[in-house]
Structure 1
């Protein structure tokens, strides 16, 4: 299992539209993500900056699976209209390694 952190940035004025579109992910895209080995994908937004945390079996394999998937292609085209920076990982392996966590109370 890999945990991958990504950063993207919205075009100015696209915040509300991005939030609205993400209120409900299409069921075929949901299925495609799961078929590609994604266990969880969370997105936080601070102003125009988006911070993604993806938990998946294999990030490179997931991207390859989704690249031409019929559920993902139109979704990515729609996101391209909203994003100023679509990714900032440029082929690097953006894995996040847990350094510290507040332990649960015992």
Structure 2
């Protein structure tokens, strides 16, 4: 189990829409995330800064690095690009967060 944490950023006025889109996560995307070895995935919002903080766990034999090659992942990025900061390929700008404390 490898924990990963990163920060993303919403564009102003899009909190409700971001939540709505994730509340109706596409089943084929959920399957792709599971198949890639991602589990226990949470995203938190700092409403003041509109920063999103994601924490997820990966299985030891994960294939998370293959996700950007999947059509469903590319479609999701395109779908989300209008409401968050993204890279030129529409992938979300993700800033890795180093672990500072762990309490098992």
Q: TM-score range by the shorter chain?
A: 0.7 to 0.9
Match of 2:55 in 1: 53
Query: What is the distance in 1 between the residues matched to 2:25 and 2:79?
Result: 12
Native 8 Å contact 1:7 1:87 kept in 2: yes
Query: What is the distance in 2 between the residues matched to 1:21 and 1:83?
Result: 12
Match of 2:85 in 1: 84
Shift of 1:98: 4.2
Match of 1:104 in 2: none
Native 8 Å contact 1:7 1:51 kept in 2: yes
Match of 1:42 in 2: 42
Q: Deviations over 1:18-63 (max 9, x none)?
A: 01111121100000000100122101112111110011125x840x
Structure 2: stretches of 5+ with no match in the other structure: 87-92
TM-score normalized with structure 2 length:
0.79
Cα RMSD after superposing both structures: 2.3
Q: Which has the larger radius of gyration?
A: 1
Structure 1: stretches of 5+ with no match in the other structure: 102-106
TM-score normalized with structure 1 length:
0.77
